[in-house]
C-alpha cells in the first residue's frame, strides 16, 4: 500500500509537470467554461438560447475532459513507459509493473474528479450556472464514465506497440466519438438514428448520463448499464492483451 501511494504521488507530479497535460486537464475545461460563461452571460443572452445550452454545456465540458484524459493522454504515457523500458525494469523489483497501471489509473481518476469540482465551482460562482440537479446521479454517472473511458484507454495502450501508434489509435477513436456521442453537437441536432446509436458508445453513454443528471433526472438505466458493461469488456481485454515490454 505504501509503494502504491508513493508511486501514485510520483505519477501525479509527472502529470502536473507536463505542460500539455495541464493545458488539456484541467486547463482546457476551465477555459471553455470561462469563454462560454461570458458568451452566455445572464444579462446579455436570451433565455431561449441560454437555457438549452446550459442544459448541454456542463456535461459536454466534463465528457470532453474525460475523453482527452483517457483516450489521448493515458495510453501515450503508458506506451511511452514500455518503450523506455520502465515497465520491464519495474518487473524486476518487488513493486512490480502492475502498480504502474494502477497508479496511472488513480492519477487519471483524481484529475477527472478535480476537473469536475473546478468546473462546477467556476461555473456556479462566476457565471451563475445552476448546480447539478441530481447530485447522486451526477456522481454515479461520472464514476461509471471515468471507469469506462479509462478502460478504453487501457485497451488502446494494450494493443499499441509504440507511442505513435497509441496516439494514432487514440485520435482515430477520439474524433468520431465526439460526433457520435453528442459532445461535438447536442443530440437534438443529430439525425435520430445516429443519436440513438451514439448512446451506446462509451462517450455517448457518459454524455447522456451526465446531461440527464445535471438537469435533475437520474441517468437512464440503459446508459449506466452500457458504461458498466463497457468497463468490464474493455478492462478484461486490456488485462489479457497488455504487454510489459
| 108-131 tens-digit pLDDT | 999 999 999 999 899 888 887 878
Question: How many residues would you count in the chain?
Answer: 245
Looking at residue 136, its pLDDT comes to 94
Q: What is the tens place of the pLDDT at every residue in 96-106? A: 667 888 888 89
Which residues have a Cβ under 8 Å from the Cβ of 190 and sit 6 or more positions away?
Answer: 182, 198
Question: pTM surpassing 0.85?
Answer: yes
Confidence of residue 44 (pLDDT cuts 50, 70, 90): low
Amino acid at each position: 500500500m505504501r509503494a502504491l501511494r508513493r508511486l501514485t504521488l510520483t505519477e501525479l507530479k509527472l502529470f502536473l509537470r507536463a505542460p500539455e497535460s495541464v493545458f488539456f486537464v484541467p486547463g482546457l475545461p476551465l477555459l471553455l467554461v470561462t469563454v462560454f460563461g461570458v458568451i452566455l452571460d445572464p444579462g446579455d443572452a436570451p433565455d431561449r438560447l441560454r437555457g438549452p445550452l446550459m442544459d448541454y454545456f456542463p456535461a459536454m465540458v466534463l465528457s470532453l475532459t474525460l475523453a482527452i484524459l483517457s483516450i489521448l493522454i493515458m495510453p501515450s504515457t503508458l506506451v511511452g513507459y514500455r518503450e523506455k523500458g520502465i515497465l520491464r525494469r519495474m518487473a524486476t523489483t518487488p513493486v512490480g509493473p502492475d502498480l504502474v497501471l494502477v497508479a496511472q489509473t488513480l492519477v487519471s481518476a483524481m484529475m477527472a474528479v478535480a476537473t469536475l469540482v473546478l468546473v462546477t465551482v467556476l461555473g456556479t460562482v462566476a457565471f451563475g450556472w445552476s448546480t447539478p440537479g441530481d447530485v447522486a446521479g451526477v456522481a454515479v454517472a461520472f464514476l461509471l464514465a471515468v471507469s469506462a473511458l479509462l478502460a478504453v484507454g487501457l485497451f488502446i495502450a494494450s494493443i499499441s506497440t509504440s507511442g505513435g501508434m497509441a496516439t494514432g489509435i487514440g485520435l482515430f477513436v477520439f474524433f468520431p466519438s465526439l460526433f457520435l456521442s453528442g459532445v461535438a453537437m447536442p443530440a437534438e441536432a443529430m439525425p435520430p438514428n445516429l443519436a440513438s446509436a451514439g448512446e451506446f458508445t462509451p462517450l455517448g453513454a457518459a454524455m447522456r448520463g451526465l446531461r440527464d443528471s445535471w438537469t435533475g433526472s437520474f441517468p437512464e438505466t440503459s446508459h449506466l448499464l452500457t458504461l458498466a458493461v463497457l468497463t468490464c469488456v474493455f478492462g478484461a481485454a486490456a488485462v489479457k492483451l497488455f504487454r510489459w515490454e
